[in-house]
C-alpha cells in the first residue's frame, strides 16, 4: 500500500476515534448535570454501534424517564456482550420497574446461576417473587442472608416474615444480627420492638421503641405501643405521657382516649379520666360497652354512684352479657340506694344471669353480699 494512503487511513481512524472520545466526554458531562436530552443527542450523533454507546444511551433514556427506550438499548448491549454484568443488573431492575417480572427474573436467575455467591442477584430474585406474590420469595432472602449475615435489607425481609408468622424468637435473632452492624437501622429496630412486644417482654420492647423515637421515627403506632408497655410495667406516668404523644399524631383515636381514661382513673385523676372516656365514647362507632364500663368505674371511684349506675346501664344496653358491668352495677346500687330489698335485687340479677357461666370469684362475692343483705332484711322486720 502506498505510504501516503496508509498514513491517511491512520490519520482518519485517529481523527474519528478522537471525535468519538470527544462526543462521549461531552455526553458524560451533559448527563452529569442532568441535561439528558442533549446527552442523548450527542450519543446518537456518534456513528458507532458499540456497547459503550448503547450502555450510555440506556442510562440516559432511563434517567430521562423513558424506560421503553432504555430497555431497548440495554438489550442491544447484552446481545453484543452477554458478559456486561452491570448492564444486566440495570436492565433487570428496569424490567422490575416496568412490571415485566418474568423477564426480570430470567435476567437475575442467569446472573445468580453464574455468580452463585453474589448476594445482590439472590436478593433481587426475592424482590421479584415478592411482587409476584410467590411464597418462594423468602427462600431467596434466606439464601442472601446465608451468604451475607450483614445484608440489612435481606435480614429485614427474613425477620419481618418470622414476625408475621408469630415466630418471635427467630424475628428477634435476625433483627439483632442486622443491628449488630447498624444499630440505627429503624426497620430492624421496629421488627425487634414488635417481636418483644408480642412476646409480652415489655421492658425490652420499651428499649427498642424508645430508640426508634430518639431516631425521629416517632408515630402514633410507636407511642401507643410505648403507652401500653409502660402501663404493663406499672409506670402510669410514662404510659400517660406516651398515650398523649400518640394523640398528638391522631387525636381521634378512641382506643387511646379509652386507655388514657382508664390510667387516669388508676392515678386518681378522675376529671381527666372522665374527659378521655367521654371522648372515647363520642368517637367510637361500634359496640362501646367497654368505654361505658370504664366511665362508670371512674364515677364509682369518685363515689358518684348515681352517674356510675347510669353508665353501667348504658354498658349493659350495648352488651347485656358484660359480666363486669352487671356485677359492678350491683355494687354501685348497694352504695346508692337505701332500700335493702332494692340493693339485694341488683346482686340477685347478676347471680341469675351468670351463675352457670360467670367468674367464680365474682359470684362468690355477690352471693356473700346477698347473704349479708338477707340477714339485714330479716333483722329489720
**pLDDT band at 4; cut points 50, 70, 90:** very low
Helices and strands, number each (H, E), in the chain: 21, 0
Asked whether this chain's domains 149-251 and 279-381 adopt the same fold, the reply is: yes
d(CA 118, CA 378): 88
pLDDT at 23: 67
358 Rama sector, left if φ>0, alpha if ψ -120 to 50, beta otherwise: beta
| pLDDT (tens digit per residue) in 179-215 | 999 999 999 999 999 999 999 999 999 999 999 999 9
pLDDT at 282: 82
pLDDT at 380: 82
Higher pLDDT, 50 or 253: 253
* pTM for this entry: 0.75
With cell 442491544, the residue in question is 76
d(CA 150, CA 173): 13
pLDDT at 13: 39
| pLDDT (tens digit per residue) in 106-140 | 999 999 999 999 999 999 999 999 999 999 999 99
Domain ranges of the chain: 149-251, 279-381
| pLDDT (tens digit per residue) in 306-345 | 999 999 999 999 888 899 999 999 999 999 999 999 999 9
| pLDDT (tens digit per residue) in 256-293 | 999 999 999 999 999 999 999 998 888 876 667 888 99
* Nearest Cα residue to 349 out of 375, 379, 323, 376: 323
d(CA 317, CA 321): 9
CATH 3.30.230.70 is the classification of domain 149-251: no
pLDDT at 285: 61
Please, what is the angle between helix 85-97 and helix 51-64, to 10°?
30
Task: Give domain 279-381's CATH superfamily.
Answer: Tetratricopeptide repeat domain (1.25.40.10)
Residue 12 scores a pLDDT above 50: no
Task: Answer for the pair 296, 332: CB distance below 8 angstroms, yes or no.
Answer: yes
| pLDDT (tens digit per residue) in 32-49 | 888 888 878 887 777 677
Amino acid at each position: 500500500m502506498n505510504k501516503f494512503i496508509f498514513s491517511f487511513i491512520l490519520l482518519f481512524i485517529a481523527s474519528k476515534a478522537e471525535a468519538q472520545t470527544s462526543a462521549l466526554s461531552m455526553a458524560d458531562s451533559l448527563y452529569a448535570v442532568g441535561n439528558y436530552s442533549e446527552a442523548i443527542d450527542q450519543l446518537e450523533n456518534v456513528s458507532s454501534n458499540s456497547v459503550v454507546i448503547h450502555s450510555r444511551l440506556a442510562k440516559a433514556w432511563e434517567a430521562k424517564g423513558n424506560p421503553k427506550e432504555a430497555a431497548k438499548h440495554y438489550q442491544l448491549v447484552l446481545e453484543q456482550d452477554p458478559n456486561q454484568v452491570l448492564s444486566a443488573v440495570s436492565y433487570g431492575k428496569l424490567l422490575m420497574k416496568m412490571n415485566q417480572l418474568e423477564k426480570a427474573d430470567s435476567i437475575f436467575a442467569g446472573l445468580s446461576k453464574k455468580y452463585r455467591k453474589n448476594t445482590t442477584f439472590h436478593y433481587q430474585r426475592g424482590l421479584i417473587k415478592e411482587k409476584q406474590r410467590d411464597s418462594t420469595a423468602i427462600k431467596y432472602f434466606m439464601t442472601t442472608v446465608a451468604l451475607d449475615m450483614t445484608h440489612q435489607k435481606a435480614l429485614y425481609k427474613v425477620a419481618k416474615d418470622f414476625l408475621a408468622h408469630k415466630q418471635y424468637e427467630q424475628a428477634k435473632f435476625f433483627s439483632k444480627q442486622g443491628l449488630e452492624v447498624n444499630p440505627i437501622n429503624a426497620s430492624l429496630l421496629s421488627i425487634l420492638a414488635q417481636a418483644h412486644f408480642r412476646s409480652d417482654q415489655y421492658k425490652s420492647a420499651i428499649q427498642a421503641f424508645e430508640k426508634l423515637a430518639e431516631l425521629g421515627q416517632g408515630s402514633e403506632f410507636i407511642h401507643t405501643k410505648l403507652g401500653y408497655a409502660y402501663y404493663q410495667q406499672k409506670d402510669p406516668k410514662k404510659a400517660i405521657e406516651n398515650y398523649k404523644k400518640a394523640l398528638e399524631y391522631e387525636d381521634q383515636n378512641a382506643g387511646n382516649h379509652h386507655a388514657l381514661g382508664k390510667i387516669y382513673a388508676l392515678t386518681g385523676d378522675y376529671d381527666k379520666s372522665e374527659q378521655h372516656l367521654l371522648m372515647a365514647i363520642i368517637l367510637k362507632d361500634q359496640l362501646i360497652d367497654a368505654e361505658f364500663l370504664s366511665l362508670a368505674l371512674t364515677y364509682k371511684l369518685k363515689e358518684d354512684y348515681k352517674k356510675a349506675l347510669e353508665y353501667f346501664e348504658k354498658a349493659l344496653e350495648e352488651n347485656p352479657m358484660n359480666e363486669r358491668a352487671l356485677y359492678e352495677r350491683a355494687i354501685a346500687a348497694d352504695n346508692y340506694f337505701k332500700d335493702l330489698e332494692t340493693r339485694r335485687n341488683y346482686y340477685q340479677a347478676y347471680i341469675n344471669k351468670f351463675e352457670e357461666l360467670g367468674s367464680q370469684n365474682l359470684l362468690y362475692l355477690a352471693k356473700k353480699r346477698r347473704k349479708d343483705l338477707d340477714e339485714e332484711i330479716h333483722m329489720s322486720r
